[in-house]
Amino acid sequence: MTISVKLREYLDQNKVKYSLITHSAAYTAQELAHKMHISGLEIAKVVIFKMDGRFATAVMPASHQIDFNRLKEATGAQRIELATEKEFRDLFPDCEVGAMPPFGNLYGLPIYVAKPLEKDEYIVFNAGSHTDAIRMQYTEFARLANPIVVDYTH
């Protein structure tokens, strides 16, 4: 599979400048950082979670982890838990499982970006497959995704 058609069309329609990078298969964000010879802080890792029973997208640097108590506090949710691949695979029909782009808005999901990611001039993320990544300016991502930025990682 290559770049998500939905993602490519969205970026192109919005005249976003981006680089598509094809690489050998990487199944974790840290592995992607290693293969691309960049810091895990520049990789935008996507984690799907359930917030009071509804799916949502968490986007954070690859080297960070979710602090569920902080995320719960920041969102006002009563219950937050990781979604399983089986639970969310059908939400992203044009993506390989685990290679979803950070544009949850394209799939009807709210996006929660970890505050440290805002510091990056550019971000790199999976483009719907384990062998394709996109590099683009964070400001362009924020303009199109309109994420909720909160401090929920460690």
Q: H or E stretch including 73?
A: helix 68-75
**In the prediction, which pLDDT does 104 show?**
96
| In the block, residue with structure tokens 């080297």 | 63
Buried b (16+ CB within 10 A) or exposed e, 118-147: eebebbbbbbbbbbbbbbbebebbbebbeb
Beta strands across the sheet bearing 44-51: 80-82, 44-51, 54-61, 111-114, 148-150
Model pLDDT for residues 43-88, shown as the tens digit of each residue: 999 999 999 999 999 999 999 999 999 999 999 999 999 999 999 9
pLDDT computed for residue 148 by the predictor: 97
In order of their start, the domains of the chain are: 5-150 (3.90.960.10)
Please state the pTM of the whole predicted model.
0.93
